[in-house]
Amino acid sequence: MARLFGTDGVRGLANKDITAELALELSVAVAHELGGQGAFGGHRATAVVGRDPRASGEFLMAAVSAGLASAGVDVLDAGVLPTPAIAYLTARMNAEMGAMLSASHNAMPDNGLKFFARGGHKLADELEDRISERVGNDWERPTGAGVGRIRPFPDGAEFYIDHLLRAVPGRLDGLRVVIDAAHGAASAVGPEVFRRAGATVDVIGGEPDGLNINDGYGSTHLGELQEAVRLRGADMGVAFDGDADRCLAVDADGEQVDGDQIMAILALSLHEGGDLVDDTLVATVMSNLGLLQAMEREGVRVVQTAVGDRYVLEEMRSGGYTLGGEQSGHVIMLDHGTTGDGVLTALALAERVVSSGTPLGRLAGVMTRLPQVLVNVKGVDKNGVDSDEEVLAQVAAVGAELGDQGRVLLRKSGTEPLVRVMVEADTHDRAQAYADRLATVVKERLAL
């Protein structure tokens, strides 16, 4: 069978691309690949499963649980919880696998399946390929006592909350925070964690009904949060996406604090405490030049990876680094989790505000974001971006003209005949002009 997995699990339109049949067959394949002999005799394999509040998650969760149990795996149904909670609980319960039903920041009609191996780790490409090959294969079904059992796991939320409060033990007394939960998976646990830490909490986007996830709220729609922080006189606001594996923030004036700024704040906090391994932060090539300049000034090295939190995680694990992430708000704190965790990130950010006695806006001012323009050039031979002499010459020319006041990056899409042209410069107009100039060259030289 063709490879099913994308950059972050299997995702598509629920009940069209992501069907109950696919969810069941894929879960059987995962059970066979990750359960090993434990799925069919001796030690019984276990899976922790969870979902975000999408309506389609109800029937898809049933299908995933059915597939796992039919393959002889015991299922712990944790219900609606963030993706990083399922990763944590997979490790906490010493389960062979975990499964999360979510399409993250996508609109409600979509859904997706993410799987975790033992320890709560994302699956390697080779493992995903082996699982894809197993889908639809004939297999010997267990019967009688050999089938798995499906049980509710109500303690999962409490275990996750306790984990977050142990990871960030500092108190938040006196801090007023607005939390935008995107009507998503963190609608209950996100505010609860902040309240237990001592913060005064106002919640928006915290009433999921199965249909309203990410609808005008959350990290991709900051307008409501910015207005709420200003109107309520809060010290800061945080916004999660649908499955709460990422977080963005706003300061007391309602100004956005993006993932690069959050990483800068947390990196310097760890750096000052001697807890930033090798004084190194891991970020992607899309992080703003302002982050690199600020970290260099403060004595922190930045290692850059390809775009995607999985590549950040790979670099962190290979180098043993503490902190990494993306501009979009995926922040990984490897001492406390195996994946990006929006609630953990928000809690650590709030704790830094309180412990330092410094407003979030001032902390974020450690870096100056250079204006960044991104132009998508469609309908081109994207592979030519690495070899066309004129394109390469123009990129070099723009880079030379920008000097240390900006940078240029051309990146081919992984799924479409499309090239992304990104330019940073000291002014937005200058960045736009250079981006348009390069986009025109790419369109002319690489047209299909």
Binding site membership for Mg(2+): which residues? 104, 241, 243, 245
What burial class does residue 55 get, using C-beta atoms within 10 Å of its C-beta: 0-12 exposed, 13-18 middle, 19+ buried? middle
Q: Among candidates 205, 312, 208, 285, which has minimal Cα distance to 248?
A: 205
Residue 77 CA to residue 90 CA, distance in Å, equals 11
CA dist 264 and 301 (Å) reads 11
Rounded to whole angstroms, what are the CA distances from 211 to 55, 102, 133?
Answer: 6, 13, 34
From the CB of residue 127, how many other CB atoms can be counted at a distance below 10 Å? 17
E runs forming strands in 72-230: 74-80, 97-101, 110-117, 121-122, 150-152, 176-180, 200-204
State the Cα–Cα distance between residues 115 and 80, nearest whole angstrom: 16
Contact 78, 9 (CB under 8 A): no
Question: Which residue, 312, 251, 320, is CA-closest to 287?
Answer: 312
Closest CA relative to residue 160, chosen from 317, 341, 349? 341
Amino acid present at 311 = Y
The token pair at 373 is 């323009």
CA distance 293 to 404: 10
Nearest-CA neighbor of 28 among 66, 65, 68?
Answer: 68
What's phi and psi for 186, nearest 5 deg? -100, 15
Beta strand pairing call for 150-152 and 110-117: unpaired
CA–CA separation, 191 and 162 (whole Å): 14
Which tokens hold the place of 242?
């649908």
User: How is 404-418 classified by DSSP, letter by letter?
Assistant: GG-EEEEEE-SSSSE
User: Using CA atoms in the order 288, 293, 297, 303, what is the torsion angle rounded to 10 degrees?
Assistant: 70
* Binding-site sequence positions: 104, 241, 243, 245
Element (H, E) at 70: helix 56-70
Query: Which residues are part of the catalytic machinery?
Result: 104
Exposed, middle or buried by CB within 10 Å (0-12, 13-18, 19+), for 158? Answer: exposed
